[in-house]
Structure 1
């Protein structure tokens, strides 16, 4: 007997109150943009520049002691956080972030050496698990490259769907992707989770995952438009979403199981990435079902491909079954 998270055949009406999810999403996107403009993102070392040091001591040391030792060096902004071990092993590790003080790589290397010598003297037996240095110039280039990567991906997707389907499908799919990216930026701004290069990778993955869901639904919509030539577009969309719902829920559910395992057991280094992916899978599935399809319903689509489009392309009447 096969496992089914939803029945094989469903008859849910996803457009009975279609204005509510659309209005909710519009409010959420605006709120995300406002949060980004006012609060901003908690940029990591990748984007701000500086030094990140993860160290472990034989016995637990108060975080305040690390902060006091580093502050006395007068090396700029300092942040120290405890690193927990998701596997439950006893571990005395801390993550130290030191703000950039010099664009010269040699000076930055000397700074790291000075910090290590000071920590070695203050905490005998300390070992270093990770040391990363990013200069101010490099961090600025990474910000530009990250923004360009996301914008380029969305533009390429717009062009691809436009060629494969019709412009209405393209606009609906890209609107859903922009919705997903905006809400991801908003949640990171709200929770002030560190935003680094791995989050850019997560956003690009979210874009691809959400697009995959949307294209599967749109493929079924196009098939059903040709099959049911006189059926109302809303009924065609409902039918198409219901026919792909079992696949969507199973794919999203199994992906979430893997991501939740990574989030709780994968350690501190990838926690931000996995959080972004978990959020993206949930939001991407939601937008594929409600946002993209609702926008497509509003725009309308051409149904008789043997005839030229007549303006809006929403041709329902006078079509033979």
Structure 2
């Protein structure tokens, strides 16, 4: 489909205006990043603790946020995780000096005071692991395994009992993990390993807390610094790789233009991301690497057409050839960018909070990348050619 057939827009006539706009946007992004300190560094790079909690009844996010703030002494990130009917909450707390091992224990203790105050210290079947449950069952021996096999030694009997109750405990925990939370004792009816005696003991000696910790991640300061360095290195070397590739495939001037456009796109997308307040994490780095690839791909399409036109019109004016090439690839640029933008926008609107930051980077990157292919990469090539003309 050629929606701009025989177009003759004077893009290079607006090159200076485009570059001025780009410089202003670039400087504003740098100010937002370093002057205002707007970038919200996630625990992947800054260090901290991340928990995913599932509740029997979804509590107020503000209640959970205030508890997390008390524990961490900072500003935790608390948001709904997944669909509303899942009743899951994501909690991220910043790194606290002296608690590099993480804040899970302190946070769950405060959550228990708020949401499990009725348990009175009883064994929480939604919190404890299979090892602790197996130990409780072994001591109580509800199935009377200690009275069996009288011919074996006490040590052998103890080992056999431990293996038996470990299997029972693992089956109970597996049932809890299947849905994330045990909400009623009737759910244990589906567990073959749970005998009536075991169930009676569990109902009398344990309790079903109002929430469960589905996942815990803790990132220490050293790991955070390492991930930060590797993330920056990934973006840097990807851009250098693009420069070298375009240098060899085309010419150095085209590589410089593509590199300038890529730096422009990443900086502005990063500034917009910082102003939006989304958390910067490893997923965000993946989004920026995608932006780098998309930006260079769009630029390469334009430069490839410029090369073809240069071969057909040797000695022709580079500015006129650049304009012609941009007009010839305009339909492809608009259609590709437009359809991709529609998909990413749908992801941004409907994808949920977890991937909203990722899709936001792609949205901004596609728009800025399309702009930079025309008003940054191409003018930079012309400027380079003016000061460093190609020797024929």
* Coarse TM-score class (shorter-chain normalised): 0.7 to 0.9
Q: How far has the Cα of 1:29 moved from its partner?
A: 1.0
What is the CA–CA distance in structure 2 between the aligned matches of 1:28 and 1:179, rounded to whole Å? 9
Q: Are the counterparts in 2 of residues 66 and 80 from structure 1 also a CA contact under 8 Å? A: no
What is the CA–CA distance in structure 1 between the aligned matches of 2:290 and 2:46, rounded to whole Å? 23
For residue 70 of structure 1, what is the aligned residue in structure 2? 68
1:232 aligns with one of 317, 321, 336: 317
Matched, 1:151 2:236: yes
For residue 100 of structure 1, what is the aligned residue in structure 2? 95
For residue 23 of structure 2, what is the aligned residue in structure 1? 26
What is the CA–CA distance in structure 1 between the aligned matches of 2:28 and 2:66, rounded to whole Å? 38
Q: How far has the Cα of 1:267 moved from its partner?
A: 1.7
What is the CA–CA distance in structure 1 between the aligned matches of 2:236 and 2:49, rounded to whole Å? 29
SS in 2 for 1:77: coil
Matched, 1:313 2:390: yes
1:177 aligns with one of 245, 255, 262: 262
What is the CA–CA distance in structure 2 between the aligned matches of 1:68 and 1:155, rounded to whole Å? 45
What is the TM-score normalised by the length of structure 1? Answer: 0.84
Q: How far has the Cα of 1:129 moved from its partner?
A: 4.6
Higher helix share: 2
Larger Cα-atom Rg: 2
Matched, 1:142 2:227: yes
Correspondences of 1:38-53 after superposition (within 5 Å) = 38-40=35-37, 41-53=39-51
For residue 53 of structure 2, what is the aligned residue in structure 1? 55
In the superposition, relative to structure 1, how do residues 80 and 297 fare at CA in structure 2: closer, same or farther (>3 Å)? closer
For residue 32 of structure 2, what is the aligned residue in structure 1? 35
Matched, 1:200 2:285: yes
What is the CA–CA distance in structure 1 between the aligned matches of 2:229 and 2:269, rounded to whole Å? 18
Q: How far has the Cα of 1:220 moved from its partner?
A: 0.5
For residue 105 of structure 2, what is the aligned residue in structure 1? 113
In the superposition, relative to structure 1, how do residues 314 and 264 fare at CA in structure 2: closer, same or farther (>3 Å)? farther
Number of residue pairs the alignment of both structures matches: 298
In the superposition, relative to structure 1, how do residues 243 and 95 fare at CA in structure 2: closer, same or farther (>3 Å)? same
What is the CA–CA distance in structure 1 between the aligned matches of 2:288 and 2:73, rounded to whole Å? 31
Name the stretch that deviates more: 145-154 or 120-129. 120-129
Consecutive unaligned residues in structure 1, runs of 5 or more: 302-309, 316-321
Task: Flag as ranges the 4+ runs of structure 1 deviating above 6 A.
Answer: none
Q: How far has the Cα of 1:281 moved from its partner?
A: 0.8
SS in 1 for 2:217: strand
In the superposition, relative to structure 1, how do residues 314 and 285 fare at CA in structure 2: closer, same or farther (>3 Å)? farther
Deviations 1:69-106 (A, max 9, x none): 3345x444242433276x7x55644332212236777x
Q: How far has the Cα of 1:236 moved from its partner?
A: 0.9
SS in 1 for 2:76: strand
Q: Are the counterparts in 2 of residues 47 and 143 from structure 1 also a CA contact under 8 Å? A: yes
Q: How far has the Cα of 1:125 moved from its partner?
A: 2.2
Q: Aligned-residue CA RMSD in angstroms?
A: 2.4
In the superposition, relative to structure 1, how do residues 94 and 104 fare at CA in structure 2: closer, same or farther (>3 Å)? closer
In the superposition, relative to structure 1, how do residues 265 and 103 fare at CA in structure 2: closer, same or farther (>3 Å)? farther
What is the CA–CA distance in structure 1 between the aligned matches of 2:377 and 2:391, rounded to whole Å? 16
What is the TM-score normalised by the length of structure 2? Answer: 0.70
What is the CA–CA distance in structure 2 between the aligned matches of 1:221 and 1:80, rounded to whole Å? 48
In the superposition, relative to structure 1, how do residues 71 and 26 fare at CA in structure 2: closer, same or farther (>3 Å)? closer
In the superposition, relative to structure 1, how do residues 266 and 226 fare at CA in structure 2: closer, same or farther (>3 Å)? same
SS in 1 for 2:5: coil
Q: Are the counterparts in 1 of residues 273 and 360 from structure 2 also a CA contact under 8 Å? A: no
1:210 aligns with one of 295, 299, 324: 295
